[in-house]
Structures are given as C-alpha cells and as structure tokens.
C-alpha cells in the first residue's frame, strides 16, 4: 500500500513537472470554471421561477415534471462543460507527453473534434446522476450508503473515459467500456494514484487555509476594514489557485496513465520503469 502510494506520489511530481513546462494548461480549468458560472447563471432564473410555481403544479409528496426536466438539463450542461474542458486539457497534455508544445487552441481543437462523443457521455453521466439521486431520495440510511458506493464505483470505472475520448475517435459507450477494461489492468495504482494526489492536496489545502486564517486574524487585530477584506480576498484566491492546480495535475496524471496503458512507452517526465509498476499483474 505505502509502496504504491509512494510511486503514485512520484507520478504526481512528474505531473507537476509537465505543468511547469506548460503553464497554459491551467487555463483549461479556469475557463471551465468561468463557463460553469455562466451555466449556473443561465439556470438560476428558471429554477427560481419553477420554485415559485412548484407549489401550484406538483401533487402532494412529489415534484413536478418540469423540476426534473430542468434538473436534468442542468446536470447535462454542467457535465458537458466539465468534460469538454477536461478533454481539452488531457488532449493538450498528451501533445506535451508526445514531445510537442501544445497551446490553448490545440486543446480546444481536440475537444471540439470530439464534441458529439462528449455530449453523449455528458448525457450518460447526467442520466446516471439523476437516477442515483432519485433512488437516494427514496431509500433509507442503508440504501443511501449502497447508492453512494454505486456512485463511487461509477466514478472509478469511468475515470479514464476522458483520456479515451481525447485520444480516440470512439463513441461514449465504447469509451466507458474501454475505461472499465483499462481499469482492470491498472487496478490499484489508478485508484491509489488519485488517493495520493488527493492526500497531497489535503495537506496543501490545510496549509493554505491555516495561513489564510492567520492572515485574516492578523488583519482583524488591526481593525482595518481594508486589510480584513484584502486578507479574505487573498485567502480565497490562494484556495482557488490551489484547486486549479489540482485539477490540472489530475488531467496530466490521467493522460500519462492512459498513454502508458495503451503504448507501453514512457516519456522524459514519466519514466517507463516507474510507469510499468502502475500496470503490474494483480
């Protein structure tokens, strides 16, 4: 377990090396976040309006079909934006891993060329999300745990869908199948690698939050409204930047795992002998 975690941490550091070489990869999660904000804004008014009308349109103990329809569209729109820019990020990362020098436009072109497959996968993900949520609302405590485990299983099984979509001309269903097949090959390192990435950022986030809190407390001690506001803004920005870096590293890591799984080749940043350990027989 600890050996795997250590190897995964090495892959995380290699991902950071790629990010330092191509800092523009950070633009993808930034644009994705901005696009998600637009999606939320576009749905805010209809959701509020339906909330007002909901009391008149629904029967006792149930939600109106319009509420479910808007919720599904919201799920789909969110997933489409997230998957589109994730495919763009992974596509650009793959260009770097192949020795190229990707630009923002290169990643967008990769995602745009896979638009139909991305939309199809967003539709599948939205459907699964809605079904799991509907079941969770109707079952007891034990049922909620089971549904939660099913959700985790779906997330793990589809972890490599984005790099599959970025690298190949396949439909969403075939991408899910290939991700699940690769998962069998990478089982353990794939998951532990994400645990390693998440664990590293738990400590990083904790450090950022601690320093931010200390800065805010120091600003409060000065009783200066300007310094207090500035300290809060700095803390929020630091947390946001950390989250963006984590998102970029996750995309690079996924691209590296998929690349080695399908080609067996390492790169300057991801050593083949190190990557080979991620795919050792179970």
Highest mean pLDDT among 184-198, 205-219, 264-278: 205-219
Section 161-175 average pLDDT = 92
DSSP secondary structure string for all residues of 131-187: HHHHHHTTS-HHHHHHHHHHHHHHHHHTTTHHHHHHHS---HHHHHHHHHHHHHHHT
Per-residue confidence (pLDDT) for residue 111, from 0 to 100: 95
Local structure of 225: helix, strand or coil: helix
- Segments making up each domain of the chain, as ranges: 2-279
Q: Where is mean pLDDT largest: 37-41, 57-61, 187-191?
A: 37-41
> Using one digit for the tens of pLDDT, what is the confidence trace for 95-137?
988 888 899 999 999 999 999 999 999 999 999 988 888 787 7
User: Which single residue is written with the structure tokens 């090396």?
Assistant: 17
Quick check: 77 pLDDT over 70? yes
Please indicate, yes or no, whether the overall pTM of this predicted structure exceeds 0.85: no
**Confidence label for 47 from pLDDT (cuts 50, 70 and 90):** low
Q: Which residues contact 232 (CB under 8 A, 6 or more apart)?
A: 216
Question: How high is the pLDDT of residue 30?
Answer: 93
User: How does residue 52 score in pLDDT terms, banded at 50, 70 and 90?
Assistant: very low
Count of beta carbons in the 10 Å neighbourhood of residue 226 = 9
Query: Is pLDDT at 187 greater than 60 in this prediction?
Result: no
pLDDT digit string (tens) for 238-266? 988 888 888 898 888 888 888 877 776 66
pLDDT above 70: residue 188: no
Read off the tokens for 5: 């975690």
What token pair was written down for 126?
Answer: 């939205």
How much helix, strand and coil, in percent to the nearest 5, is found in the chain? 85, 0, 15
Window from 9-18, 24-33, 196-205 with minimum mean pLDDT: 196-205
Residue 1 scores a pLDDT above 90:
no
Q: For residue 166, is pLDDT > 90?
A: yes
Mean pLDDT along residues 202-210? 86
Q: Which comes out higher in pLDDT, residue 15 or 198?
A: 15
Q: Where is pLDDT greater, at 182 or 165? A: 165
Percent of the chain's residues with pLDDT above 70:
77
Q: Is the pLDDT confidence value at 223 over 60? A: yes
pLDDT higher at 55 or 240: 240
| C-alpha span between 176 and 93 (Å, rounded) | 21
- Cα–Cα distance for residue pair 119/87, rounded to 1 Å: 12
Supply the angle between the helices 2-21 and 65-97 in degrees, to the nearest 10.
80
Over residues 134-162, mean pLDDT: 79
Tell me which DSSP letter residue 114 carries: T
Q: What is the mean pLDDT of residues 2-27?
A: 77
> 230 or 260: whose pLDDT is higher?
230
DSSP 270: S
Give the SS3 label for residue 268: coil
Which has the closest alpha carbon to 91: 271, 240, 258? 258
pLDDT band at 56 (very low <50, low <70, confident <90, very high): very low
CA atoms 232, 235, 238, 243: torsion sign: negative
């Amino acid at each position: 377990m600890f050996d795997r975690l250590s190897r995964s941490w090495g892959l995380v550091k290699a991902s950071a090396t790629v990010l330092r070489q191509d800092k523009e990869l950070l633009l993808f999660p930034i644009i994705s976040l901005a696009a998600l904000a637009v999606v939320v804004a576009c749905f805010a008014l209809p959701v509020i309006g339906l909330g007002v009308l909901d009391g008149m349109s629904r029967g006792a103990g149930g939600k109106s079909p319009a509420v479910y329809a808007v919720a599904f569209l919201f799920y789909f729109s969110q997933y489409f934006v997230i998957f589109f820019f994730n495919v763009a990020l992974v596509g650009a990362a793959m260009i770097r891993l192949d020795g190229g020098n990707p630009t923002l436009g290169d990643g967008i072109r990769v995602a745009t060329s896979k638009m139909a497959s991305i939309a199809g996968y967003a539709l599948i993900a939205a459907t699964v999300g809605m079904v799991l949520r509907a079941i969770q609302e109707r079952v007891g405590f034990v049922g909620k745990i089971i549904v939660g485990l099913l959700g985790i299983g779906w997330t793990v099984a589809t972890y490599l869908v984005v790099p599959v979509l970025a690298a190949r001309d396949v439909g969403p269903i075939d991408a899910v199948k290939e991700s699940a097949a690769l998962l069998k090959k990478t089982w353990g390192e794939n998951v532990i690698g994400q645990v390693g990435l998440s664990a590293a950022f738990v400590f990083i986030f904790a450090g950022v939050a601690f320093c931010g809190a200390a800065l805010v407390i120091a600003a409060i001690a000065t009783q200066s409204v300007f310094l207090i506001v500035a300290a809060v803004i700095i803390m929020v920005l630091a947390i946001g930047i950390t989250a963006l870096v984590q998102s970029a590293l996750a995309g690079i890591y996924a691209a590296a795992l998929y690349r080695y799984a399908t080609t067996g080749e390492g790169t300057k940043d991801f050593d083949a002998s190190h990557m080979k350990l991620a795919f050792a027989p179970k």
